[in-house]
């Protein structure tokens, strides 16, 4: 006796698979169109703002000579805000600006960053809140390639044009550069260029230079980098201020 079992057709499954494939293709196409449109608009924006004057000076920490250099810019362009990202100790920067007779009122210190990537991670939201469209990046020669690439990727993704000034250093910088470090930082900068469109980290350690409490720092004690030539002001401990 023969039993006739119904044969299930695979045609409906194939149709579902094709529909799913087409849906994914349409989604991918839509994403590509959106990204391409955004890139075109952003590029047009960057080109247009590149002819404008600089809206802010952005100093990367790592050498006191960069902060000495920016005091000269502060005197030439007193209305242009300055953001120093994880630079020298606050009282050292205060003393440098005082010694050079540069205005302290338009200078902000960001002390959340612990790496070059962090400089841009925390610096971007501050610059955006200032309405910056063109920034001058201030760093050292050995650091210029990596930092400028990161700035162009992260800041550029928000329509901020980047120029750079290279500060001449004395001696060998403490942070040695390598192509591996550059490659890793550029890679995560590309990812952050995308995620920073919706995520805006906030630094809780942003101080206006004019608000630095020098009395408290003198009581606490601080050291400055010797190239700053601030030895006569530097207190090793609170007993030196008696």
Q: Which of 123, 61, 109 minimizes the C-alpha distance to 210?
A: 109
Rounded alpha-carbon distances, angstroms, from residue 168 to 25, 66, 71, 138: 52, 9, 15, 11
Look at 227 and 40; give whichever has higher pLDDT. Answer: 227
d(CA 113, CA 126): 13
pLDDT tier for residue 23 given thresholds of 50, 70 and 90: confident
Q: Which of 109, 128, 126, 175 minimizes the C-alpha distance to 147?
A: 175
For the stretch 134-146, pLDDT in tens is: 999 999 988 899 9
pLDDT tier for residue 15 given thresholds of 50, 70 and 90: low
Burial class (CB in 10 A: 0-12, 13-18, 19+), 148: middle
Helix, strand, or coil here: 150? helix
Output the pTM of the full model: 0.82
Helix, strand, or coil here: 104? coil
d(CA 168, CA 184): 26
Strands 107-110, 206-208: pairing is antiparallel
Which residues face 110 on adjacent strands? 85, 206
Per-residue pLDDT, 115 = 94
Which residues face 162 on adjacent strands? 135
For the stretch 123-172, pLDDT in tens is: 999 999 999 999 999 999 888 999 999 999 999 999 999 999 999 887 76
């Amino acid at each position: 006796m023969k039993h006739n079992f119904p044969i299930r057709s695979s045609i409906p499954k194939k149709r579902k698979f094709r529909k799913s494939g087409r849906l994914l293709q349409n989604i991918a196409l839509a994403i590509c169109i959106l990204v391409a449109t955004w890139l075109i608009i952003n590029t047009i924006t960057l080109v247009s703002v590149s002819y404008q004057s600089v809206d802010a000076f952005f100093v990367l920490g790592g050498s006191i000579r960069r902060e000495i250099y920016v005091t000269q810019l502060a005197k030439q362009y007193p209305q242009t805000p300055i953001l120093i990202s994880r630079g020298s100790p606050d009282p050292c920067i205060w003393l440098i600006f005082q010694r050079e007779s540069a205005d302290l009122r338009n200078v902000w210190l960001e002390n959340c960053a612990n790496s070059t990537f962090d400089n841009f991670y925390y610096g971007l939201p501050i610059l955006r809140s200032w309405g910056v469209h063109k920034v001058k990046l201030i760093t050292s020669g050995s650091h210029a390639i990596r930092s400028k690439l990161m700035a162009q990727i992260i800041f550029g993704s928000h329509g901020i044009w980047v120029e750079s000034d290279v500060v001449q250093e004395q001696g060998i910088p403490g942070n040695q550069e390598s192509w591996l470090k550059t490659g890793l930082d550029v890679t995560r900068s590309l990812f952050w260029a995308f995620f920073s469109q919706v995520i805006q980290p906030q630094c809780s350690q942003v101080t206006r230079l004019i608000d630095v409490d020098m009395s408290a720092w003198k009581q606490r004690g601080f050291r400055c980098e010797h190239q700053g030539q601030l030895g006569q002001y530097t207190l090793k401990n609170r007993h030196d201020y008696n």
